[in-house]
Chains A and B, each alone.
Chain A
Amino acid sequence: MLYKHTATELSAMLKAKKITTVELINDIFDRIEKTETELGSFTLLKKESALEEAKKVDEKIARGEELLPLEGIPIAIKDNMVSKGDLTTSASKILSNYEGIYDATVVKRLKDAGAIIIGKTNMDEFAMGSTTKSSYIKESKNPWDLERTPGGSSGGSASSVGGGQVPLSLGSDTGGSIRQPAAFCGIVGLKPTYGRVSRYGLMAFASSLDQIGPMGRSVEDVAALFNVIGGYDEMDATSMELEMPDFTMNLDGNVKGMKIGIPKEYFIDGLNPEIKKVTEEAIENFRKLGAEIVPISLPNTEFAPATYYIIAPAEASSNLARFDGVRYGYRASSYDGIEDMYIKTRSEGFGSEVKRRIMIGTYVLSAGYYDAYYKKAQKVRRLIKNDFEKAFNEVDVILTPATPGTSFKLTDKKTPVELYLEDIFTIPANLSGIPGLVIPAGKVDNLPVGIQLLGKAFDEATILKAGDAYEKAYTKMEIPKL
């Protein structure tokens, strides 16, 4: 039953020698073996190497050496983060045979910190989607209702944590891909400030929006994982050379006097009334905790999805060009010349969502349309960023709903545009580069509902502090029966 604990609790138990790391890893894999056929969270499991790592940690404990905060703690990482010697596929056919030849910076940092990577999690192909249904490998399920989606694109990372398979996971968030599945699966997910966590080794979807972030069952766990993966990395030119404070340090449950802004533009017609209710309750709860609630306006919010769906595909169309069958990955079996090889490889290797976005991206960047689309989108992006900068002159944190609704059925037929609107509350943070934290705030029809706390750039500390305070006062960690 070790799987029910948070990483922080497990770490304390290891340090107190109440359990061994090998026991922990065995317990985790028992749970995975029982639940994985139903949940489908993983694309790769590494029990053998995980147990080997566990033995090393146990030897260290036996020698009486001090453990690092996440040493011996099992963790799952999204399948778009390269790890040496492991299949790293981005859930795409085109990389279905691709083995990483190096470690992503986050992977390297986890290994250096003694965390135990137990596997790679399922995702939407190349992180494009909000259901995990565009995965070439498998379908993942929501642990709260197996007929529903865990969300996307970090669906496997969310279902693995939400379903009690692993206490911590890493996801990546380009337009809400950590926060939306976290909300759907009833867990905590943080999209850090752009430039805070190195993207080196993250298979790029949209370089200017992508950010790796931690997912876990408590704010404290997420902060502890963030401590390990964050900070300047010289391998990523966009990584910021800023000090990383210890984000677990100021989680004192105190939000007295904290100014929380409520943007009116986020309470729109499409918002499910039940979600609205939960969010309003959360606002009220924060008031009870002593926070000051301030109505604010983010006037350009409505343009965020359109802006995002120009910039992200534009960058994606270029980022995905390297998958051509020339140097690695899948290659079509028969072709006539190089041109034909490209066309067949990419036609066979990419799924429909990826193709759709490559086409949109190619179109908006093409000579005749660049100014009308891409350039204009960049201008609007600046406006959205300005909105936040202005708002954060008045408030410390902005509170919004995380998603317009709860998790939907995997069989629900939604058009691409309907699916794109799923990210409406999360996209602005990516466009502006600011951090966003989603925490569970309640349930509707036994399905989790999350709220989102947005913070100033590089001020993850404040949203983690607010989220932790809320969690301590109002959230009961739950793992659904499976």
Chain B
Amino acid sequence: MAREWESVIGLEIHCQLDTKTKVWCGCSSDYDNSPENTHTCPICLGHPGALPKLNKKVLDYAIKAGFALNCDINKESKFDRKNYFYPDTPKNYQITQFDHPYAEGGHIDIKLSNGDDKRIGVTRIHIEEDAGKSIHAGEESFINFNRASMPLIEIVSEPDMRNSEEAYQYLNLVRDALKYTKISDVSMELGSLRCDANISVMHKGAKEFGTRVEVKNLNSFKGVARAIDYEISRQIEEIENGGEINQETRLWDEESQVTRVMRSKEEAMDYRFFPEPDLVRIVITDEQLERLEEEMPESKIAKMTRFVTDYKISENDAETLSSSIELADYFEKVVISSTNPKLSCNWILTEVLRVLKDNNKTIEEFSINSEELGEIIKLIDKGAISSKIAKKLFEIKLNDERSPMKIVEEEKMAQVADTSEIEKMVVEVVANNPKLVEDYKVADEGRKPRVIKGLMGQVMKASKGKANPKMVMDILTEKLS
């Protein structure tokens, strides 16, 4: 009988920090739409004599990431050089933190399928610089150094994950936590979040981990999960067929959905780490920590709790609303202009999220801003429009520049709240439905509400949904009594 297998997964996540300038020089980090090699200087091009100087904002941002992932911040840490030759690494060494990272010992709690929490350890976070980008065109190769010396943090997890689902969740939660701090746009698509996975398999209950394989080049959330699944089955298959797992680095091939060997242990690099002599030790003061702690935005958990207490919405709804800081911000702004938290919550969770999902958009790309949605909700709340009309208004507003109020006015969507007009309609309906009227009069108390609803529906229909339902009911009851 085949023995059961268990897999062990650790992730290394690289996150590009959103500082205005690069980590060692004054070059602008906003190079996305710039021509190649225009955001460069002697420092980030590694010209002779040029020296790095730590951008203080990088340290601030990095510390915030440390807070967000529950790490201990080391008051003193240092930079090291990692030596290796690669054309897009201008100095042919990378400045990184080797044995004294600035942050250690953090964690993130994920939810298992049985509902239990599981704590995934964050071993360390360190600061390092990014490399340039190689571009291969046929026989020729080119390098764009715009990205060279961009600030990165590398978040190294403990090998605490057991399957791709846990890894996927961990990666998502890390991204959320970082996104909340606003230190990065944490987008795998844009390359500001990159991930490598260390994967090994062992027999269930075994004490020793199997041989570890590092998988690089994971540049989508789905890719991470798929690569892990692939690699786990590849390793199990390999062993079950009598083979052995080599300690090697593999690349995830997104196109063919397999991992391929990049280099083996024998070819492993000797990075010849040593302390970076061009930079002084990193010293973090208590004042700096206090200041940054104050600057830390509310965490997701804290936000959820506050939503439940302050806005009296359900825990589930609060969780959905705080799934991203942007959605949470949107919600709170809508509440400010609508002054009705419950209704705002319902509208966002149903209508807004539906539209976003159908169009594959994020809340930042949503066409109705928080003030406008707040206005729509306020119109409902005041009774100026019915919920039904509100939905129509919402649909129009999706592609309409006019303010909700203006649309209501110009499209004559406001509720009819004129007593004489409603009375006219009620009289008409009563006259046209003698059978229902008779029915109502003879009905017992239990049936009466049902019959009157039918009549009311006729009135609403006659008003094209614009009649104030409460007034209709009042007048109808009076006429029938």
Contacts A318-B272, A321-B83, A326-B143 given; does A101 touch B47 at CB 8 Å: yes
Residues of B within 8 A of A81 (CB): 49
Give the contacts of B78-129 with A (CB-CB under 8 A): 81, 83, 85, 87, 90-93
| A315 contacts B277, C-beta separation under 8 Å | yes
B45 within 8 A of A: yes
Give the contacts of A18-69 with B (CB-CB under 8 A): none
| A314 contacts B42, C-beta separation under 8 Å | no
Which 4 pairs across A and B sit closest by C-beta, in order of nearness?
A: A321-B92, A207-B277, A365-B272, A208-B277
Contacts A208-B277, A318-B274 given; does A101 touch B42 at CB 8 Å: yes
When C-beta atoms are compared, the residue in chain B nearest to A366 turns out to be B270
Contacts A101-B42, A318-B81 given; does A367 touch B270 at CB 8 Å: yes
Distance of A238 Cα from B90 Cα, bound (Å): 21
When C-beta atoms are compared, the residue in chain B nearest to A323 turns out to be B48
Q: How far is the CB of A196 from chain B (nearest CB, A)?
A: 15
Contacts A237-B52, A318-B274, A367-B270 given; does A328 touch B85 at CB 8 Å: no
Residues of A within 8 A of B277 (CB): 206-208, 238, 315
Residues of A within 8 A of B47 (CB): 82, 101-102, 327-328
A246 within 8 A of B: no
Interface residues of B (CB under 8 A from A): 42, 45-54, 81, 83, 85, 87, 90-93, 141, 143, 270, 272-274, 277-280
A227 within 8 A of B: no
| A237 contacts B54, C-beta separation under 8 Å | yes
- Sample 14 A-B pairs with CB under 8 A, ordered by A number: A81-B49, A82-B47, A90-B48, A208-B277, A234-B53, A238-B280, A318-B83, A321-B91, A321-B93, A322-B92, A327-B45, A338-B87, A362-B272, A365-B272
When C-beta atoms are compared, the residue in chain B nearest to A107 turns out to be B49
Q: A102-B50, A204-B48, A367-B270 are in contact. List 5 more A-B contacts (CB 8 A).
A: A237-B280, A322-B48, A322-B91, A324-B87, A365-B273
When C-beta atoms are compared, the residue in chain A nearest to B47 turns out to be A101
Q: How far is the CB of A336 from chain B (nearest CB, A)?
A: 12
| B143 contacts A98, C-beta separation under 8 Å | no
| A207 contacts B48, C-beta separation under 8 Å | no
Considering residues A81, A206, A238, which has the most beta carbons from chain B within 10 angstroms of its beta carbon? A238
A438 within 8 A of B: no
Residues of A within 8 A of B50 (CB): 102, 200-201
Distance of A362 Cα from B84 Cα, bound (Å): 11
When C-beta atoms are compared, the residue in chain A nearest to B276 turns out to be A207
Q: How far is the CB of B276 from chain A (nearest CB, A)?
A: 8
Distance of A14 Cα from B47 Cα, bound (Å): 38
Q: Mark A297-331, 1 if CB is under 8 A from B, else 0.
A: 00000000000000000110110011110111000
Give the contacts of A374-402 with B (CB-CB under 8 A): 374
| A199 contacts B42, C-beta separation under 8 Å | no
When C-beta atoms are compared, the residue in chain B nearest to A199 turns out to be B51
A202 within 8 A of B: yes
When C-beta atoms are compared, the residue in chain B nearest to A89 turns out to be B48
Interface size on A, residues (CB 8 A): 43
Considering residues B48, B141, B274, which has the most beta carbons from chain A within 10 angstroms of its beta carbon? B48
Distance of A327 Cα from B48 Cα, bound (Å): 11
Residues of A within 8 A of B83 (CB): 317-318, 321, 365
A236 within 8 A of B: yes
Q: Mark A189-214, 1 if CB is under 8 A from B, else 0.
A: 00000000001111110111000000
A115 within 8 A of B: no
A88 within 8 A of B: yes
Give the contacts of A160-211 with B (CB-CB under 8 A): 199-204, 206-208
Residues of B within 8 A of A315 (CB): 274, 277
Q: How far is the CB of A90 from chain B (nearest CB, A)?
A: 7
Residues of B within 8 A of A98 (CB): 48
Q: Mark A356-376, 1 if CB is under 8 A from B, else 0.
A: 000000100111001000100
A95 within 8 A of B: yes
Contacts A102-B42, A318-B272, A374-B274 given; does A200 touch B49 at CB 8 Å: yes
| A324 contacts B272, C-beta separation under 8 Å | no
Of A95, A322, A370, the residue contacting B90 (CB under 8 A) is A322
When C-beta atoms are compared, the residue in chain B nearest to A208 turns out to be B277
| B49 contacts A237, C-beta separation under 8 Å | no
Residues of B within 8 A of A234 (CB): 53
Of B48, B93, B270, the residue contacting A318 (CB under 8 A) is B93
| B274 contacts A322, C-beta separation under 8 Å | no
Distance of A104 Cα from B50 Cα, bound (Å): 8
| B280 contacts A327, C-beta separation under 8 Å | no
Contacts A101-B42, A200-B51, A207-B278 given; does A324 touch B270 at CB 8 Å: no
Contacts A101-B42, A314-B274, A321-B93 given; does A95 touch B49 at CB 8 Å: no
When C-beta atoms are compared, the residue in chain A nearest to B274 turns out to be A365
Give the contacts of A234-284 with B (CB-CB under 8 A): 234-238
A458 within 8 A of B: no
Distance of A318 Cα from B271 Cα, bound (Å): 11
| B90 contacts A327, C-beta separation under 8 Å | yes
When C-beta atoms are compared, the residue in chain A nearest to B280 turns out to be A237
Contacts A208-B277, A367-B270 given; does A88 touch B51 at CB 8 Å: no
Q: How far is the CB of B155 from chain A (nearest CB, A)?
A: 25
Q: How far is the CB of A186 from chain B (nearest CB, A)?
A: 30
Contacts A102-B42, A238-B280, A322-B91 given; does A202 touch B49 at CB 8 Å: yes
Considering residues A102, A200, A204, A318, which has the most beta carbons from chain B within 10 angstroms of its beta carbon? A318
| A321 contacts B85, C-beta separation under 8 Å | yes
A342 within 8 A of B: yes
Q: How far is the CB of A282 from chain B (nearest CB, A)?
A: 34
Distance of A238 Cα from B91 Cα, bound (Å): 19
Distance of A208 Cα from B143 Cα, bound (Å): 31
Considering residues B50, B54, B280, which has the most beta carbons from chain A within 10 angstroms of its beta carbon? B50
| B87 contacts A326, C-beta separation under 8 Å | yes
| B274 contacts A238, C-beta separation under 8 Å | no
Q: How far is the CB of A345 from chain B (nearest CB, A)?
A: 11
Residues of A within 8 A of B90 (CB): 322, 327
Distance of A324 Cα from B50 Cα, bound (Å): 16
When C-beta atoms are compared, the residue in chain B nearest to A92 turns out to be B48
| B85 contacts A342, C-beta separation under 8 Å | yes
| A203 contacts B274, C-beta separation under 8 Å | no
Residues of B within 8 A of A321 (CB): 83, 85, 91-93
When C-beta atoms are compared, the residue in chain A nearest to B91 turns out to be A322
Considering residues A321, A328, A362, which has the most beta carbons from chain B within 10 angstroms of its beta carbon? A321
Contacts A235-B53, A318-B81 given; does A88 touch B270 at CB 8 Å: no
Distance of A82 Cα from B45 Cα, bound (Å): 15
Residues of A within 8 A of B45 (CB): 327
Considering residues A204, A235, A237, A367, which has the most beta carbons from chain B within 10 angstroms of its beta carbon? A237
Distance of A104 Cα from B49 Cα, bound (Å): 7
When C-beta atoms are compared, the residue in chain B nearest to A81 turns out to be B49
Q: How far is the CB of B447 from chain A (nearest CB, A)?
A: 86
Distance of A324 Cα from B123 Cα, bound (Å): 36
Distance of A6 Cα from B384 Cα, bound (Å): 94
Distance of A342 Cα from B89 Cα, bound (Å): 13
Of A235, A237, A327, the residue contacting B46 (CB under 8 A) is A327
